[in-house]
Amino acid sequence: MSVSAARKHEIDANKLAKRLRRQCGQAIADFNMIEDGDRVMVCLSGGKDSYTLLALLRQLQAKAPVRFELVAVHLDQKQPGYDPNVLPTYLKSIDMPFHILEQDTYSVVTRVVPAGKTMCGLCSRLRRGSLYSFAEREGFTRIALGHHRDDIVETLFLNLFYHATLKAMPPKLLSDDGKHVVIRPLAYCKEADIAEYAQQEGFPIMPCNLCGSQETLQRKAIKQMLADWERKAPGRIENVFRAMGSIAPSQLADRALFDFASLGSHADARANQSDWLLGDGEAAE
């Protein structure tokens, strides 16, 4: 590589790191993800996304207007080929506080899920249960996950196509039991940028040998569809993501979100609704 080429590569790498850091910081600010005194549990799977999440949060921590604690937490699920030394070695090398949890979810999932069926649902529920329980025991106030913009858009279409619901992954949520605040600081970051950043940083990636080996997942089909869209119409994924933050309930059809019945209605409109439901010649019992 020539000197000029090397210099250009360095400049591009710096721009990428700066862009990701800015997007991460913007997401945290927009959704008030981290406040002064928070103890943040960074869920580290060993994939490119969670490594990037940890790196960006550490960079932001050094200059953030609030003080907060970061602890990396990894769940060893006892999958075949798993090397238990990779993460501890890396985390010690960057002087990062961490915990390694152990739970043999691999045996449970492979025993319960029929051959050829998607394993992700059960696997994620078991993993989430372990992480949530640990967060509660250790007093963490935030649980940070590495889902990015593309994950959020993919989930939107998964729910739309396969579950007939219009929902995705929110950048910030309260768990069903009300005990945990889950944040996704990479919500504004593109997967392609994260992949490039992870490569240039040389993170010791640990591939998933369970769900990652399933080639027929619905999510992979959605990912391919979005990739085709993006190739034919660059910027479409970004537009879809931005649309999730610009919702007009009155232009949809959810009666729980908007009172369509009262629009231009007469005083006795609700009393006459049963007439529409019963049909001609029928009487209410």
Please answer whether residues 167 and 77 qualify as being in contact, where contact means their C-beta atoms are separated by less than 8 angstroms.
Answer: no
pLDDT score of 214: 47
Note the pLDDT of residue 103: 74
| Inter-CA distances, 201 with 16, 70, 71, 134, 248, Å | 11, 20, 20, 29, 41
This prediction has a pTM of 0.86
Q: What is the pLDDT of residue 108?
A: 59
- In this prediction, residue 271 has a pLDDT band, given cuts at 50, 70 and 90, of low
Closest CA to 31 of 39, 23, 42: 23
What mean pLDDT do residues 173-189 have? 94
Strands annotated E in 126-215 = 142-144, 172-174, 181-183
Report whether 186 contacts 52 (CB < 8 A).
Answer: yes
Mean pLDDT (whole number) for 76-101: 90
Cα atoms found within 13 Å of the Cα of residue 116, Cβ hemisphere only: 0
Residue 281, pLDDT > 60, answer: no
The answer to whether 34 and 171 have CB atoms below 8 angstroms apart is no
Continuous segment of H or E residues that includes residue 74: strand 69-76
- Strand 98-102 relative to strand 172-174, pairing: unpaired
Between 38 and 13, name the one with better pLDDT.
Answer: 38
pLDDT at 244: 96
- Would you state the pLDDT for residue 148? 98
Average per-residue pLDDT for the chain: 87
How many Å apart are CA 48 and CA 240, to the nearest integer? 23
Q: Which residue has the tokens 């970061």?
A: 70
**Which tens digit of pLDDT belongs to each residue from 211-266?**
544 444 788 899 999 999 999 999 999 999 999 999 999 999 999 999 998 998 77
Average pLDDT for residues 33-43, to the nearest whole number? 97
Give yes or no for residue 33 having a pLDDT over 80: yes
3-state secondary structure of 8: helix
What percent of the chain shows pLDDT beyond 70? 81
Domains of the chain plus CATH, in order, are 30-245 (3.40.50.620)
User: Which residue's structure tokens are 């994924």?
Assistant: 237
Q: Is the pLDDT of residue 78 over 50?
A: yes
